[in-house]
Amino acid sequence: MTNLTHFRTPLRHTPFHPRTASANRLNRWGPWAGCMTSLCYGDVDMEYTAIRNAASVYDLCPMVKYRVTGPDAADYLNRLMIRNAAKLPVGGVHYTAWCDDDGKLLDDGTLFRHGPEDYLICCQERHLPWLLDSAQGFDVQVAEITEEIAALSLQGPCSASVLAAAGLDVSALKPFRMARFPFAGGEITISRTGFTGDLGYELWMTPDQALPFWDHLFAAGAPWGIRPIGTDALDLARIEAGFIITNMDFVPAHQALREDRPRSPLEMGLGWMIDWEKGNFTGRRALLAEKAQGSEWALVGLDVPGNVSAEGSILYHDKKHEAGFVTAAAWSPALKASVAIAQVKARHAGGDNLWVEIYALRELQYVKLMLPVRVVERPFYNPARRRAMPPERV
């Protein structure tokens, strides 16, 4: 029987909620996968500054997590995803995506390989029925374990130093690798991954370890100005890094109401991930046809004049003909520039004679701005410390 009162059910608290709630002076919360997540604790500028200049902590618990195990785990994931899961070494992590039969994106996420037959998928949206249907004929077990894992993202130039002070030496941990470390009689897993485009780590543990680890980490990180951050500051950092988000920069194919809204990996700048030689995978035939014929859309980075965010704005060719739209934009404190991520018709991806129409709020009145934009490479912000080995200790 359908639950007609589900809307009355409160959002769940993450295992870190007692600490995040006490730190959230603004009491600003938003929903994420059925959980309460902090949007801003007190000052978004200070939280952003912690990401780029100190050490920041973000509660990752709501991220949806699926465990895939069994003798056919690698083959199943290869049939499912556009990258080659069999090539991912044990202890490795990679960014990947998956499509429907029409080659349109369902979601993107990270894939962790904990063992020869043991993988973890982390993503934005829930896909369990589709994952189970796709497992037919494979000797695999697929289970959602979102609430079995507590996770934090520790990002910023001081993140390695904070972990060292906490007794967790990550100096040998390379980007997109993970390792286990002892903590309080148990173990936690640390991966050198993140969503800020900076030096950073993601910390994975059991829910019962969450509060003791939070307290331990913040005590160790105090000399480096460690600070919890909300989604607002994280979104600014991910725009600078040129990262895309499901349901913000593209609509998942299975959620789209209009046939022209879904996008393919080729249209979203993810063609570099596709392993064409690994054999058949969902959407391969459609993607091969698109590759041969050319894509209708392209994802581009934009340099926008001035300091007004272009988010949600329409793009024009020659100021007359609609050419695309901006999905994410911000004034970048690190770059001292206004940057944007946009979808444009593929024929305009070079940026020739491309303009953006912005409505800027100026003392209660909106002023229309028509500004020339320049197509630029992503990421907009890409510090060397992001991949430095060993990581910088400051």
- Point out the annotated binding site for substrate: 202
Q: Where are the beta strands (DSSP E) in 184-335?
A: 186-191, 200-205, 227-228, 297-304, 314-317, 321-332
Residue 117 burial by Cβ neighbours in a 10 Å radius (0-12, 13-18, 19+): middle
All residues at 6 or more sequence positions from 257 whose CB lies less than 8 Å from its CB, including other chains: none
Q: How far is CA 161 from the centre of its chain?
A: 24
Residues 6+ apart with CB under 8 A from 79: 134, 138, 280, 281, 282
Annotated binding residues, written as ranges, equal 202
Cα–Cα distance for residue pair 60/68, rounded to 1 Å: 20
How far apart (Å, rounded) are the C-alpha atoms in residues 234 and 237?
5
CA 314 to chain centre: 24
CB 184 within 8 A of CB 140: no
Q: Which residue, among 154, 143, 177, 153, has the nearest Cα to 65 in the 3D structure?
A: 143
Alpha-carbon 49 to chain mean position: 19
Closest CA to 175 of 161, 188, 193: 193
What number of other Cβ atoms are within 10 A of residue 251's Cβ? Answer: 17
Rg of the chain over Cα atoms, rounded to whole angstroms, equals: 21
The rounded distance, in Å, linking the Cα atoms of 247 and 186 is: 37
User: Cβ distance 322 to 314 under 8 Å?
Assistant: yes
